[in-house]
Amino acid sequence: MNSDRRQIIVREIEHWRRSKLLPDQYCDFLLNLYADQETVSTSSRAAGGSSTARKAVAAVQRATGMQWFLTFGTFTLISFVVFYFSVFHPLLQIGVIVLAVVVLLWLGGRLGKHNEAAGLALTGIAMLLLLGGGLFMYGLHDITEWWTKVALLGFCALLWVAYGILARIPVLHLCGWITSILVYAWLLSHYMGASKWYEIQLYWLPIACLFAWGSWFIHRWQKPVSAVLFVTCALVWFMPEMYAMLFSDEIAWIQLQLIVKIGVGGGLLFLMRKKWMVWVV
């Protein structure tokens, strides 16, 4: 009997909430008095969702004519730029892409203070827009020289590394180094031609050692940066075999090279575990 009465009271309180006869704070207080724990949790979740929807509706209702004009004007401007981008002057096209990237980065930085996932999403869209917009312009203006694509990738890699460090975004920092590795492999394949297996190892292993030294050197100031350099070192350690599979004809002993690399790398990690763990943790 008491349970039935509580349910009736809870339904009445929910009716008062929906009808806005009482403020949400009073309704929550009454629910805490009359409802059991399970009911309170369910009603609180429902109230949270409805509260969010009410806030959105209230924001739309309070919007002024100028805010509506700016919203639809901005949407119209973006649509105009997207539809007529191909007929713009090349300098104007570059300016539009750069402006869009800067605005998205600014919004990502502002929004990231309150919602990290949304901020990272906007930052990622900005970086992809820079790369995709550059490649789109190459196709639009029939630019087919290979070095132009290398230059664009190299610029994006440097920007991703620098911005990833400054904005403390390790994923973007790592993507920058991976892109720079691809640029280096592309340059090697174009200028070095056919190479022996030991030459390929010499192209990459000193760079892996350089990244390992950089991880050790940076760890006392920036642990996230040190961790990214350590991961990059591990990737570069196996790049000779990947490079050989993509650009070299001498792949007869590549399986043996991989086995030796895994054994040597695992042994070094085990012997130096007390040191390198300090760099990345």
What is the rounded CA–CA span in Å between residue 266 and residue 164?
Answer: 29
Query: What's the start-to-end Cα distance of the chain, in Å?
Result: 59
The number of helices, as runs of H, and strands, as runs of E, in the chain is 13, 0
Q: Where do the domains of the chain lie?
A: 2-62, 64-144, 170-281
* Mean pLDDT value across residues 239-267: 78
- When mean pLDDT is compared across 4-8, 67-71, 157-161, 172-176, the lowest value belongs to 67-71
Find all residues with CB under 8 Å of 186, minimum gap 6, and list them.
146, 150, 153
* Mean pLDDT value across residues 194-216: 86
Closest CA to 244 of 261, 231, 257: 257
Give the distance from CA 69 to its chain's centroid. 32
- Average pLDDT score over the chain: 79
What is the rounded CA–CA span in Å between residue 77 and residue 68?
Answer: 14
Q: 243 with 194: CB under 8 angstroms?
A: no
CA angle 9, 19, 33 (to 5 degrees): 30
Q: Which tens digits make up the pLDDT trace of 59-103?
A: 555 666 666 666 777 777 777 777 777 778 888 888 888 999 999
Residue type present at position 114: H
**For 104, what's the count of Cα atoms within 13 Å in the CB-facing half-sphere?**
18
Which pLDDT value is given to residue 61?
59
- Considering the chain, what percentage of its residues have pLDDT values greater than 90? 15
Closest CA to 18 of 41, 40, 50: 50
pTM of the predicted model as reported, rounded to 2 decimal places: 0.69
Residue 161 pLDDT greater than 80, yes or no:
yes
Which pLDDT value is given to residue 159?
93
Residue 271 pLDDT greater than 90, yes or no:
no
Quote the strand ranges of the chain, DSSP E. none
Residue 104 pLDDT greater than 80, yes or no:
yes
